[in-house]
Structure 1
Amino acid sequence: MGNIRTAIGLMSGTSMDGIDVALLRTDGEAIIERGPFLGVAYDAPFRDRLKLALEQAKTITQRDQRPGELAAIERELTLRHVSAVREFLDVNGIDASAVDVVGFHGQTVLHRPDEALTVQIGNGALLAREIGVAVAYDLRANDMLHGGQGAPLVPVYHAALARNVRNATLPVCFVNIGGISNLTYIGADGLIVGYDSGPGNTLIDQWVESQAGIPFDQGGMIASEGRVIDDLANRYLDSPFFTATRRRSLDRNDFPPLAGSDAELADGARTLAHVAAASVIKSAGHLPVTPTLYVICGGGRLNRILMQDLRDLARGQNADVISAEQAGFDGDAMEAEAWAYLAVRSLDGLPLTFPGTTGVREPITGGIVIRP
């Protein structure tokens, strides 16, 4: 058993909607004491800056390249994380000296696993200097150096949580529906299998923003007025991604946006919610055993249409679908909590990724730890 540390995790995910901040007390293994959580939303102009970053990052061929305005956006992103940490500490009456490490994800602007290239902008040294706390960052790169795909990293945290799921027996499958969805299977024998399962909220967000000028379909309200357009759904669900023998991690651009379709707003949102749900079930077909329980985390669990489709599809497998809250967790905080957990594992040199999660050759640690 390692030392119990107080860690803060910071997550800015593929939905690009804001910064999640969560606190854990953990030994990086079995002991997990979940603390407070704070979500800090990005304003629309900064979301536009992040979209520009995604475009300008397309020319990157080396991880340290920052073409165009990328260096300036990276600095602004980091300073927003500084502000988020300060707000979190202030709101919760926590002194920075009580925090041992901060796990800093940064913002993924490019992810090409087939080229062993992943880029998360975010200046770990600047963050550490400004908040006065050690920072563990760049947690994906070492995995790629050892043959992995750099994602997903959350499964080791899901596995630690699995033993605490209310009224459940293994195998359990955690599903995180963010911009991209990923799943983690925890078997009765302790086996961990994890991979990206397909498009999550990104396609829905892109559609409603392009058609209605709003950032996301809150609660699935728009989708609830529409119908599934089978031809459009199948265009996504027939992708070779779902049938390929080798599971691969996804970039948010791997599934093209629906923009340009002549579908009605509600029908497009309804179709893409179905795609997000069906992607999970199709990808679960690659698991060692069909799970009897899916625990849904991330923003997608708040889309009631997506969740109903998931329940309907899982029923065909004799499986149940519950939200993270029904399992006793906080679905908003889970990814940020995971980054706190991973930061402690990075400090202790414990593995972050495994052959069954990223395809890495052997369990491997990772991350750069920098002190103020």
Structure 2
Amino acid sequence: MSAVPTHEAEPYVGLMSGTSLDGIDAVLAEIGTGNQVRLLRTRYIHYPDDLRAQLLALHTPQADEVHLAALAANALARLYAEAVGALLEGIDPAKIRAIGCHGQTLRHRPGDGYTIQIGNASLLAELAGIAVVSDFRSRDIAAGGQGAPLVPAFHARVLAHPEIHRVIANVGGIANITDLPPNGPIRGWDTGPGNMLMDAWIHRHQGSRYDRDGSWAAEGSVAAGLLQALLRHPYLEQRPPKSAGREQFNLESLDTTLAGLGQRLEPGTVQATLLEFTAVSLCDAVTQECRGAQELYVCGGGAHNGALMRRIAALLPHVRVTTTADLGIDPDWVEALAFAWLARQTMHGEAGNLPAVTGACGERILGAIHPA
């Protein structure tokens, strides 16, 4: 499909469903050239419990998984279409340039040359009546990159400051940071777990999807031995560019670490330590790799975890720590906005990756287009 030679702002939809497996963030945005991004509408749809269970199960190899993944992809496409319909109520779908749909990650293994996000974009295009751009990560991996993180390109375009050294921290299931020095190279990578381990642990012990405001973690004490064991994770020793997922940070590996300690810890103690693990691994990355950072803006679900935000601020005493709300973008919608913007890049034949971030051998136009 040829690029559209226009400099006028166009409406795009962004859909994001991340590694937290909680639901779908949907945004309608008007996007032009440069840093012109205007958020118009938002919607959020929870994953039904049965779909979430199916997706969690598909992260582990099992019998008939190709068939099960295809069925889950169809179910996701229908839920995406429901989100788009609610988002665009009263708006003619023909007026929307495209949907940027990340899909749901089942495997992310750039070392093996692939990443898999499901969502049946063809079915979504059929149901929504709007062109869909999907599979953003594969082209970057084909060019030798990690395929992640991709949001730093959006952060750099929209949130950078010409005189202030900013860092953007997206704390979803996995935490990633974008380093935005005013006169230096833009860098970004996954620092380690975000909410993923905390969410999984509280779901196991309390049946909750997440620890609201970090209140359960705040009641416990950090277990120094467990924290040190977690901080010895091989991923944390790697230098950027790098990316992570459930393959590196999951309940099974946590159970193995706990078993190796030779002592029983109270569940609340483990939750407190998992929060500290997220905070320390993120702040160590900022301290070691983003020297001179003046401001850190948090987005994603972690921005609502008061206990986590306080620990990050305490560990970075010389950095102003706040959320992207102070930059005019609600922290809940930054990532979905990024995929709306990435769809715009693709539809205009413009690169969406940053080779310095992902390690790709060059800039690439990302994604596959599924016409309406």
- With the length of structure 2 as denominator, give the TM-score of the two structures: 0.92
Of 145, 154, 157 in structure 2, the residue corresponding to residue 157 of structure 1 is 154
- What's the CA shift string for 1:139-181, capped at 9, x where partnerless? 11110111101000101111122247xxx94210000000001
Contact 1:56-1:67 within 8 A present in 2 as well = no
Question: 2: distance between equivalents of 1:180 and 1:12?
Answer: 12
Question: 2: distance between equivalents of 1:209 and 1:89?
Answer: 33
Q: Are 1:201 and 2:159 counterparts?
A: no
Of 230, 235, 238 in structure 2, the residue corresponding to residue 236 of structure 1 is 230
| Matched residue SS, 2:350 | coil
Question: 2: distance between equivalents of 1:129 and 1:182?
Answer: 33
Q: Structure 2 vs 1, CA of residues 326 and 31 (structure 1 numbering), >3 Å: closer, same or farther? A: closer
Cross-structure match for 1:6: 11
Taking the TM superposition and a 5 Å limit, the aligned residue runs for 1:30-49 are 30-49=35-54
Question: 1: distance between equivalents of 2:105 and 2:33?
Answer: 24
Bigger mean CA deviation after superposition, 326-335 or 251-260:
251-260
Gaps in structure 2 of 5+ consecutive residues: 1-5, 259-263
- What's the CA shift string for 1:102-154, capped at 9, x where partnerless? 00111000001111210001111111111001111111111011110100010
Question: 2: distance between equivalents of 1:29 and 1:117?
Answer: 31
Q: Structure 2 vs 1, CA of residues 163 and 134 (structure 1 numbering), >3 Å: closer, same or farther? A: same
Cross-structure match for 1:119: 116
Contact 2:159-2:327 within 8 A present in 1 as well = no
Deviation at 1:29, TM superposition (A): 3.0
Question: 2: distance between equivalents of 1:99 and 1:171?
Answer: 35
Q: Are 1:282 and 2:284 counterparts?
A: yes
1:38 is matched by which residue type in structure 2?
Answer: R
Contact 2:241-2:356 within 8 A present in 1 as well = no
Of 263, 269, 279 in structure 1, the residue corresponding to residue 271 of structure 2 is 269
Cross-structure match for 1:139: 136
Cross-structure match for 2:365: 365
Contact 1:177-1:299 within 8 A present in 2 as well = yes
Deviation at 1:20, TM superposition (A): 0.3
Q: Alignment RMSD, CA only?
A: 1.9
Deviation at 1:79, TM superposition (A): 0.8
Contact 1:151-1:358 within 8 A present in 2 as well = yes
Cross-structure match for 1:177: 171
Question: 1: distance between equivalents of 2:204 and 2:239?
Answer: 34
Question: 1: distance between equivalents of 2:328 and 2:184?
Answer: 21
Deviation at 1:5, TM superposition (A): 1.4
Deviation at 1:263, TM superposition (A): 2.3
Deviation at 1:190, TM superposition (A): 6.0
* Identity level (%): 32
Question: 2: distance between equivalents of 1:157 and 1:256?
Answer: 28
Taking the TM superposition and a 5 Å limit, the aligned residue runs for 1:17-166 are 17-27=22-32, 29-56=34-61, 67-90=66-89, 93-163=90-160
- With the length of structure 1 as denominator, give the TM-score of the two structures: 0.92
Contact 2:196-2:250 within 8 A present in 1 as well = no
Of 7, 14, 20 in structure 2, the residue corresponding to residue 15 of structure 1 is 20
Q: Are 1:340 and 2:340 counterparts?
A: yes
1:291 is matched by which residue type in structure 2?
Answer: A
2:109 is matched by which residue type in structure 1?
Answer: R
Cross-structure match for 1:328: 328
Deviation at 1:346, TM superposition (A): 0.7
1:7 is matched by which residue type in structure 2?
Answer: Y
Bigger mean CA deviation after superposition, 247-256 or 344-353:
247-256
Question: 2: distance between equivalents of 1:3 and 1:342?
Answer: 16
Question: 2: distance between equivalents of 1:285 and 1:114?
Answer: 27
Question: 2: distance between equivalents of 1:264 and 1:145?
Answer: 45
1:232 is matched by which residue type in structure 2?
Answer: L
Runs of 4+ in 1 over 4 A off after TM superposition: none
| Matched residue SS, 2:179 | strand
Q: Are 1:308 and 2:310 counterparts?
A: yes
| Matched residue SS, 2:60 | helix
2:86 is matched by which residue type in structure 1?
Answer: E
Question: 2: distance between equivalents of 1:98 and 1:152?
Answer: 30
Deviation at 1:264, TM superposition (A): 1.7
